[in-house]
Amino acid sequence: MRTALVAGNWKMNGDSAFISELIKELKVSTKSSDAEVLVCPPFVYLSEVKQALSGSAIKLGAQNVSQNNNGAFTGEISLPMLNDLDCEYVILGHSERRSLYAETDELVAEKFIATEKAGLKPILCVGETLEERESDQTLEVVGRQLKTVINAAGIEKFVNAVVAYEPVWAIGTGKTATPEQAQDVHAAIRAMVAEYDADTAAKLRVLYGGSVNAGNAAELFANEDVDGGLVGGASLKANDFTAICQAAGAQ
């Protein structure tokens, strides 16, 4: 039995006043959710969100991390720093990092290995562009993104990892994948992992991300291989994020 996970990726949004209000509401509203709930604020707010979350079951995660532990890497944030703040998860290889900051499959694999070694849980994002879907390359692209990491890290490093399937065409567009489209790719991801190790595949949580909202969450999460969501825009609205967490917990 896989515990559903709902992760809020706040991206580069919010300020102190907004975040303090959001956390205050989420602490109360998500209390009864059976899903594991995670928020991933911008780096500069991690410390204040950690304090605000005190006494709550909501977990803390980061949106990215350096593959290096220290040194002359201006503007980067390291895993020891995230450990200092009790971050439990790190989002890796988000499509915005891949497309806007030129992160390659190989770099994502390096970050994955470093994250696992530091004792944090990677949330590995994979997903195809619209052009790739329309030319029937979805599984090829997702397979390449996933297998580059498995081959570099070793399947045994996936015990605490999470995979997030985020079709690029669904991110921030309001065009959610249909439950069937999501289930098909999620099942394929699990099958790819099973080629390496069946037990790891059975236990692996595969999240869906891309225009998840309060209205579509339940039908997405009802699918056998959809184990929760990675939520962008709707994670900034307490009521919507709460409804998504309830939908995940009810599955």
Instruction: Tell me: does residue 166 bind ligand 13P (CB under 6 A).
Output: yes
Distance CA 19, CA 12 (A): 12
Give the CB-nearest residue to ligand 13P.
232
Interaction of residue 205 with ligand 13P, rule CB under 6 A: no
- Near ligand 13P in 3-32, by CB under 6 A: 9
Asked whether position 245 contacts ligand 13P by CB under 6 A, the answer is no
Angstrom distance (rounded) from CA 144 to CA 130: 17
Contact between 168 and ligand 13P (CB under 6 A)? no
- Which of 94, 103, 110, 132 is an active site residue? 94
Q: How far is the CB of 102 from ligand 13P (least distance, A)?
A: 18
71 Cβ contact list (under 8 Å, min separation 6): none
If one asks whether residue 231 binds ligand 13P (CB under 6 A), the answer comes out as yes
Work out which of 41, 61, 122, 210 binds ligand 13P, going by CB under 6 A: 210
For 82-195, strand residue ranges (E) read: 89-92, 121-126, 162-165
Of 155 and 231, the one with the shorter C-beta distance to ligand 13P is 231
Instruction: Identify whether 110 is a catalytic site residue.
Output: no
Per CB under 6 A, the list member of 33, 211, 216, 246 interacting with ligand 13P is 211
Q: How many residues bind ligand 13P (CB under 6 A)?
A: 14
Reply yes or no on whether 166 is catalytic: yes
Count the neighbouring beta carbons within 10 Å of the beta carbon of residue 71.
8
| 181-185: long-range pairs with CB below 8 Å, 24+ | 182/208, 182/220, 182/223, 182/226, 183/223, 183/224, 183/225, 183/226, 185/138, 185/139, 185/142
CB of 66 to ligand 13P, least distance (A): 19
SS3 103: coil
172 in contact with ligand 13P (CB under 6 A): yes
Q: Shortest Cβ distance from residue 18 to ligand 13P (Å)?
A: 16
In this structure, is the dihedral angle defined by the CA atoms of residues 201, 205, 211 and 214, taken in order, positive or negative? positive
Largest CA distance in the chain: 49
43: number of Cβ within 10 Å: 17
Residue 5: alpha-carbon gap to chain centroid:
9
CB nearer ligand 13P, residue 12 or residue 44: 12
Binding site for ligand 13P (CB under 6 A): 9, 94, 166, 171-172, 209-212, 230-234
Catalytic residue numbers read 94, 166
